[in-house]
Structure 1
Amino acid sequence: MKPNWDGILTKASYLYLSLPFLIFCLAWLNLPSAIAFSSITLVSIFLCLKNVHSDFSINYLLSKNPRTIWVSLLIILFIIFFSGIGHYTYQNNDHLYRGALFADLVKYDWPVMYKVSGFPGHFLEGKTTMMTYYLGFYLPAAALGKAFGLEFGRFALFFWTFIGTVLVVFQTGKYLRKFNYKLLLLFFGWGTLFFIGALYKNSFLDIYTETANPLWAGMILYADSNLGLIYWTFNQSLTAWLILLLIYNKGPKQNTLFLYALTFFLSPFAFVGMFPFIIFSIWKYYQGTLKDDLWKNVKHYLSFQNIIGAALVVGLNFIYIDSNKAGKFFQVLHHRPKILIVFYLLSWAIIAFLISSKFKKNALFWLVVIVLIPLPFFQQGYGIDFPGRLSIPALFFLMLLVGQFLIEEKSGWRKWAVLAYMSVSAVWHIGFEVGKPIIWTSAENISHKTDWDDKLMTSENPKLRKVGKILKDIEGKDILIQDHKTIVNPNNNVIWNYMADIEGSRFYRWFAKKK
Structure 2
Amino acid sequence: MTSNQPLPAHPFEPDRPAPGHLPTGQLDAFDQAALVYLVLPVLLFAGWFLPVPALALAAAVLWGLSRFWHGPRAAAQPLAPWGWMGWLMLAALAVGLTAVSGTGHLVFANTDWHIRDAVLRDLAETPWPPGYLNDGQSVLLRAPVAYYLPAAALGTVFGSSVLDAAILTWTALGVGLVAWGAALRCTRPRERLVLALVLVMFGGWDLLGDMYFELVWPASTKHLEWWATFAQYSSSLTLLAWVPNHALPAWLGTLLVLRHWRQPSLARIAPCLMAVTPLWSPLIAIGLAPFVLLGLDWRRHAGLLLSPLRQWPWGLVLVVVAAYITMDSSAIPSGWQFRDPATFSRFFPTYVLFCLLEFGLLAGLLLLAGLRDRPLLLAIGVLLLLPLYRFGEANDLAMRASVPALMVLALAAAHALTAPTATPRGIRAGLVLVLAVGAIGAWHEPWRALTEPRWARSGDSFPEAVAIERGATGPAELPPHYVARPNRPWLTGLMRTPTPVLPHAAPQPGDSR
With the shorter chain as reference, the TM-score category is: 0.7 to 0.9
CA contact (8 A) 1:257 1:310 kept: yes
CA contact (8 A) 1:97 1:483 kept: no
CA distance in 1, matches of 2:182, 2:331: 31
State whether structure 2 residue 60 is matched by structure 1 residue 40.
yes
CA contact (8 A) 1:91 1:480 kept: yes
CA distance in 2, matches of 1:426, 1:74: 21
Size of the aligned set, in residue pairs, is: 448
Alignment deviations for residues 239-284 of structure 1 (CA, whole Å, 9 cap, x no partner): 121122123212453222212221122121011111211111114x
TM-score (normalised: structure 1): 0.81
Amino acid in structure 2 at the alignment position of 1:354 = L
- Please give the root-mean-square deviation of Cα atoms over the aligned residues, in Å: 2.4
Shift of 1:229: 0.7
Which residue of 191, 215, 232 corresponds with 2:203? 191
What SS does the aligned partner of 2:407 have? Answer: helix
Shift of 1:401: 1.1
TM-score (normalised: structure 2): 0.81
CA distance in 1, matches of 2:86, 2:59: 41
User: Counterpart of 1:385?
Assistant: 396
Task: Identify if the C-alpha distance between structure 1 residues 341 and 484 changes in structure 2 by more than 3 Å, giving closer, same or farther.
Answer: farther
Task: Identify if the C-alpha distance between structure 1 residues 360 and 403 changes in structure 2 by more than 3 Å, giving closer, same or farther.
Answer: closer
CA distance in 2, matches of 1:327, 1:348: 32
State whether structure 2 residue 183 is matched by structure 1 residue 162.
no
Shift of 1:139: 0.3
Amino acid in structure 2 at the alignment position of 1:348 = F
CA distance in 2, matches of 1:274, 1:214: 22
Amino acid in structure 1 at the alignment position of 2:404 = P
User: Counterpart of 2:315?
Assistant: 311
**Within-5 A mapping of 1:429-448:** 429=442, 431-440=443-452, 444=453
Alignment deviations for residues 42-84 of structure 1 (CA, whole Å, 9 cap, x no partner): 100111233462255x33x434454344234223312211211
Structure 1 range deviating more: 321-330 or 239-248: 321-330
- Report which structure shows greater RCO (CA 8 Å, sep ≥6): 2
CA distance in 2, matches of 1:255, 1:147: 32
Which residue of 149, 172, 189 corresponds with 1:139? 149
User: Counterpart of 1:496?
Assistant: 480
Which residue of 407, 417, 438 corresponds with 1:425? 438
CA distance in 2, matches of 1:392, 1:361: 20
CA distance in 2, matches of 1:332, 1:407: 40
Task: Identify if the C-alpha distance between structure 1 residues 322 and 362 changes in structure 2 by more than 3 Å, giving closer, same or farther.
Answer: closer
CA contact (8 A) 1:488 1:495 kept: no
Shift of 1:213: 7.3
Amino acid in structure 2 at the alignment position of 1:270 = I
User: Counterpart of 1:475?
Assistant: none
What SS does the aligned partner of 1:175 have? Answer: coil
Shift of 1:134: 0.2
Which residue of 361, 368, 378 corresponds with 1:367? 378
What SS does the aligned partner of 2:93 have? Answer: helix
User: Counterpart of 1:332?
Assistant: 336
State whether structure 2 residue 287 is matched by structure 1 residue 301.
no
CA distance in 2, matches of 1:207, 1:128: 44
Task: Identify if the C-alpha distance between structure 1 residues 305 and 100 changes in structure 2 by more than 3 Å, giving closer, same or farther.
Answer: farther
Shift of 1:360: 5.2
Structure 1 range deviating more: 89-98 or 504-513: 504-513
Of all paired residues, the percent bearing the same amino acid is 22
Runs of 4+ in 1 over 6 A off after TM superposition: none
User: Counterpart of 2:282?
Assistant: 268
**Within-5 A mapping of 1:148-159:** 148-159=158-169
User: Counterpart of 1:16?
Assistant: 37
Alignment deviations for residues 81-109 of structure 1 (CA, whole Å, 9 cap, x no partner): 12111122101111121111111111111
Amino acid in structure 1 at the alignment position of 2:281 = S
CA distance in 2, matches of 1:432, 1:9: 32
Task: Identify if the C-alpha distance between structure 1 residues 73 and 229 changes in structure 2 by more than 3 Å, giving closer, same or farther.
Answer: same
Task: Identify if the C-alpha distance between structure 1 residues 483 and 181 changes in structure 2 by more than 3 Å, giving closer, same or farther.
Answer: farther
Runs of at least 5 residues in structure 2 that lack an aligned partner in the other structure:
1-26, 339-343, 471-477, 500-513
CA contact (8 A) 1:40 1:309 kept: yes
**Within-5 A mapping of 1:194-233:** 194-202=206-214, 207-210=219-222, 215-218=226-229, 220-233=230-243
